Structure 1
C-alpha cells in the first residue's frame, strides 16, 4: 500500500490476505486516528489547557506524521499541527500572565483577610460582643483555609508573612476572649454565692406564712441587684427562690379566701346601706342630707371589712354620695356668704352705673350720626350687660 506525497509515492505497509478496498480502509483509519489526535490538541488549547503541556504533545506528535503508515492528506495534517505550534507561544505568554495575575489576586485576597482580622483585633475588646466577634473570626479563618486549598499557590515568603500577621491578630482576640470569660467566671461565682444565700433565707421564711411576705419582698430587691450567675445556674436558683415565694403567697391566698368568706356578710350589709344612701345623690335639703349621711357613715364603720376585691367598688360608691352632699353644703355657703354677697352687690351697683353711662353714650352717638361711634357704644353696652348677666 502506497501514499502519494509531494516528491512521489511512499510505501506505508502491506495488508496480506485482504482485498485492495479492505487494505485501503485499514490505512485510512490510521490516518483518521492521527487526525483525531491533532483535533484533540486543537480543542485542548481552545478549552484553556496548559499551553506548555499541549506544546509537549505537539512536539511528540509532529515527527510521526511525515513517516506515518497511513493513507490521507499527511501534508495537510502536518501543516495543521504546524499552525497549532505557532499559536502555542502566544498562548503560553497569555497563560503565564494570567497565572501571575491570579497569584497577585490571591495575595491581595489574603491581605484583605489579614486586614479584616487585624481590624477585628484593634477594636476595644473590653466592650466586645464575644458571640459576634467569635463568629466573625471563625468565618475569617474558614475563608483563609478555603483560600489555601482552592486559590492559586502564592509565594512562600508572602504566605508566611501574611499567616504570621493573621495568627497574631487571632491570638490577640483569643487572649482577650479568655481573659473576659475568666473574669466573667469570677463574677458568676460571686453572684452564685449571693443568690444561694438569698434562696436559703427565702426558704427559711416558709414557717411564717403570709407574715413572711414583706421579708421576701426585701430579699427579692436584693436578688435584683445580686448580678448574673450564668443562665443555667440562674434559672435553677430562681426556680427555688420563686418556689419559696409561692409558699408564702399560697398561704396568703388561703388566708384571703377564709377572710373573704368571713367578710361576705359585711359586703351584703354595705351594699344594702349604699342602696339606702344613693337617693342622697338627688337630695336638695342639705341639712337633712348631712344628717342622713352621718348616720349611714356611722353604720358603715360599724359593719367592718369587706372582701379585698370588693373594697374599691363599695368605697367608690360611698365617695360619690359624700361628694354630692358636700356639694349641697358648698353651694349653700356660696349663696349665703355675707362677704361674697357684699362684693357681689357692690360690683352689681358699679355695673348698673356703667350700663346707664353706656346707654347715654349710645344715645349721643346716634344723635351725632357717627356710625363708628354708634358701633363702639353698642359694643361697650353689650359687654357691661354680659357682666351683669354673669353676676346673675
Structure 2
C-alpha cells in the first residue's frame, strides 16, 4: 500500500483521496505501482488547478459574460465533485465558491450599469421631448427647425428603452415636431398668400401708373402718383422677382411723367439745381455719420437728414442717381450696423458660440493629457499622432475664440 498527504492506494489497487468529509474513492489502478497511481491522479489534480487558474484570470481580466463564467465554474466543479483527482479538493471547491461569488457580483454590477444606462437614456429622452414640445410653439422658424433636426440626431444616438416607454416618448417627440412643421407650413402659406395679394395690388397700381405716364395734367397727376406710392408701400412686398419687375415698371412710369413735366417746366430747372445744392449739403452731413460709432445717435441724425431731404423736392434728373446713391449708401451702412449690433447681442448665437468654444477647449485639454501620457509611456509615435490632431483642434479653438470676441466675450 502507498500513500501521501492527500491520498493512498490500498492493496487492491483502489485509489482514495482525503477530504474534509473523509476519504473518497478516486478510482482503481491495476496498470502499475501504487506510486504511479498516485502520480497519475495527482497530475489530474494539477490539471484542475490550471483550469481554475485560467478561469480566474479570464473572469478578472476580460469581459467574459456571467453566463459563460458560471457554466465554466460548474463544469470544473463537477469534475472536482467526481473525485477523480488526488489533491486538496476542498481548496479547489473554496476557490470555485469564491469565483462564483465574484461572477455573481459582476452580474449584479452589469445589471446595475444597465439599469443606470436605461435611467440616463430615459431622462435624456424626456429632456429631448420637453425641449421639442417647447419648440413646437416657437415662431423662430429657421432656428427652431434646425434645433429640432439636431434633437432627432441626438435621439438616434441614445439607447432604446423598454418598448412601451420608448414608444410613448417617441410619440410625444414626433407629435411636437409635426405640430411645429404644421405651424411653419401654415405660416409660410399665409406669407405666400400675402405676397400674392401684394402682387395683384401692385399690378393694378402699375397699370394705373403706366396709364398716367402720358398725362399733361401736371398737378392732379403728380398728386395721384403720390397716392399710388403710398398705396404701393402699404401693399407690402410681393415675391422678389415680381417685386423687382413691378417696381421697375412703376418707377419707370413715374419717370416718364415727371421727365415730361420737367421738360415743360424748364423754368423750374434753377429751383431743381438749388435743390441739388441743398441735398449735396445734406448728403455731406449724412456722410459725416460714418463710420457709425453711436448707432442710436446715427439713426436719429439720419432721420433728421431724411426728413429735410424729403422736404426739399426734386433735383435735376441726371444728378439724381448719384446724389440718391450717396444717401442710400449711408442708409445701408447704418442698416448694416444695426444688423451687426443685433447679431452681437443675439443670446442664441452667443450661447452656440460659447458651447462650441467649451467643447473645443475640453477636446484640446484632453488631447494634451493624452500626449503627456503617451510620452510618459514611451509611445512617441502615438504622441506625435495626437500632437497633429491637437494642432487641428487648437486652430479651431482659436477661430472659435475669435468669433466669441465679436459678442463681447
| Superposition TM-score, scaled by structure 1 size | 0.45
| Superposition TM-score, scaled by structure 2 size | 0.43
Q: Point out the structure with max Rg over C-alpha.
A: 1
Q: Choose between structure 1 and 2: higher helix proportion.
A: 1
